[in-house]
Structure 1
Amino acid sequence: MSSAPLKKELHEENRLSWNEATKAHNSHKGNQAKFFREGGCTLFPEEKELLGNIVNLSLVHLQCNAGQDTLSLVQLGALGTGVDISDEAIAFAQKLSQESGIPATFHRADIFDWLEEAAKKNEQFDIVFSSYGAVCWISNLNLWAKGISNILKSGGRFVVVDFHPVAMMFDTDWSHKFTYFSEGKPLTWEDGISDYVAESSGGLTPWGYEKGIENFHNPYRVHEFQWGIGEIVTALLQAGLTLEVLKEYPYSNGCKLFERMREASGRRMFPPLDVPSVPLMYGIVARSRNSHTDI
């Protein structure tokens, strides 16, 4: 499973597409520094529950995007580091950290490169965290899981909250269009990363939505990877982690993934009444063993 060499050329195209999309996304988010200075937090209850108490724990947020959740984790007491492939996202995160007065370290890198370098430097963390549209960009699950295991301290935890692969089988109109089992083959979208912040009409901007860039068109295509829950869990287990929690949720947080989604309290997005319930998110907590010698 996922034993093929890394598809770095696809990662590079994804980087270009994310650079463009990040500009559009942040154009709708207004004065984020003010939001954070006033104690704002972009985290949802699900990731807070899975993370537990993170005060004074070292935490690396993989695929941190423009840093909003990373800074929110620091607000909750973590010693935060963020890593993302997008130049635009990391530049924004560093600026937001400075303007909000919330200290965090950000690195612009392909996470496979960063994980390898961190392991070489023997950098280790109490928590590795990833969330919301992260795993679909991972081109090699085994390398990803082993990289995470290598940088976790003894007894450290990996926590992920993400959109469920079952949800990724459906087109925006709820029709069953895509396969669940893709055998690691990339799914290419010629229209690139969308302006999903605009499409979610305020669901991702708890402090208020601004019109910003309109009719966004991304000139760079992207490549996603469909991994099933069994593949994800197995990769983590084979990397030497112990599964502690696997949860599934019948809603998506903030993001209107499909047409006609019903918004409930807490910005939870449910299918319309005429669509049967399907899992739209999952959460995993996996813990490092006492040593890495047996991995």
Structure 2
Amino acid sequence: MTLTTEQATWFAETFERLAANVGQAVLGKDHVVRLALTAMLAEGHILLEDAPGTGKTSLARALAATVQGTNSRIQFTPDLLPSDVTGVTIYDQKTQQFEFHKGPIFANIVLADEINRASPKTQSALLEVMEESRVTVDGVTYEAGRPFMVMATQNPIEQAGTYRLPEAQLDRFLIKTSIGYPDHASTVRLLGGASVKDRSRELAPIITTNAVAEMAELGAQNHVDTAVLEYVSRLCEATRNAPETRLGVSVRGAIAMVRAAKVWAAAQGRNFVLPDDVKELAAVVWTHRFVMDPEAEFAGVTPDRILERVLGEVAAPQSRAGV
């Protein structure tokens, strides 16, 4: 079953309402808001690499408030344990039974703040729940619910005492981007409303979490022509064959692109994906998956430069497959 024109129109209108509502709390960052919504509706996760004080927490809270969902914030520190994230089973002497106390990972929008400050053991506690939206503790599996999105942050400035995210975990983030500082006009608006500590608390919900799950299912039904799928495959192969990379885009990364492009196209009212959708999302979906050759990295070659060259070399399809 594919997305109809009427469904695509409804999807785009609802997406715009969601973006406008979140934009009331995160001023001047429409593109980042749209990327975050795309990640949520594609049932993926987002990694924000940004300086402190740019509105990462506000974005997470605004998303949760907009979809009438729950949100939690986990401050990752070197002494954080996996059970502090997932939860712990405790023996209740009154009932003489073990009870599972859910951790902060059980929320619709989870802000994993400064994720690279926790040990690799604690970071790995996120792997199962990010991939399968469920947590297994003491042999018992607990569903995380829908929607479920991890919004992790990294501070690019202070690297002392941090643990680099392994490639396997980076590959599980659908999108990597940054919020950045607001422009002059947005900054003035923020300063004018400085008395409001948290703008997200003033947001009214636009839809329910059940409606978000329905939107995610609609987005997944969007049509992707075989020619576009072949284009994505050729781009991924080109990143793997680039002499400056040790690892290019994985198969998981290719699937992530298709999922994100479906939602991105539906958000623009289309019930089909264009090659331009792939080009527009390529940087945020793919560059964090590259493993650079050390010599190329030392010479100043960046993933963005490699991707730009690949997009220029691999020709985009001009017609549908078989036409």
Query: TM over 0.5, yes or no?
Result: no
Give the structure with the higher percent helix: 2
Structure number with larger C-alpha Rg: 2
* TM-score normalised per structure 2: 0.26
